């Protein structure tokens, strides 16, 4: 029993060690080994994307609340203007980022 147990244990340990070493065995000599991480530009873009989603969601929610009667017509008229402005700003904020990054990428390639 003990011999079998030890054998299985050894196999397990080896298999695990192999699995852990796998990335190095698969790519012994890779072109680059850096972990992708968002630079300042991407972080800003992510922030803007989240703001855009938030503004769009708020707009949808306002429409929904108005249709179900939670927000009166007067309140709706008051709130819809600034909200639409917010959405437009968020969309606009994302555009120049895309343009400038694309230009930069095109320039380097």
Structure tokens at 69: 């009667």
Residues 36-95 that bind other proteins (CB under 8 A): 36-39, 41-43, 45-47, 49-51, 53-54, 57-58, 61-62, 64-65, 67-72, 74-75, 79
**Least distance between other proteins and beta carbon 89 (Å):** 15
Q: Which residues of 77-90 are buried (b: 16+ CB within 10 A; e: fewer)?
A: eebeeebeebbeeb
Query: Does an H or E element contain 91, and which?
Result: helix 73-108
The CA distance from 3 to 44, in Å, is 59
The answer to whether the Cα torsion of 57, 62, 63, 65 is positive or negative is positive
Q: Which is nearer to other proteins, 88 or 103 (CB)?
A: 103
* Contact positions vs other proteins (CB under 8 A): 1-2, 5-6, 8-9, 12-13, 15-16, 19-24, 27, 30, 32-39, 41-43, 45-47, 49-51, 53-54, 57-58, 61-62, 64-65, 67-72, 74-75, 79, 97-98, 101, 105
């Amino acid at each position: 029993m003990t011999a079998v147990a030890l054998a299985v244990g050894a196999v397990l340990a080896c298999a695990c060690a192999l699995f852990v070493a796998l990335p190095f065995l698969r790519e012994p000599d890779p072109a680059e080994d850096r972990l992708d991480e968002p630079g300042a530009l991407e972080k800003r873009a992510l922030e803007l994307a989240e703001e855009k989603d938030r503004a769009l969601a708020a707009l949808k929610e306002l429409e929904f609340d108005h249709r179900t009667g939670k927000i009166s017509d007067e309140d709706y008229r008051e709130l819809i203007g600034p909200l639409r402005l917010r959405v437009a700003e968020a969309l606009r904020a994302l555009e120049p980022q895309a343009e400038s990054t694309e230009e930069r990428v095109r320039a380097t390639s």
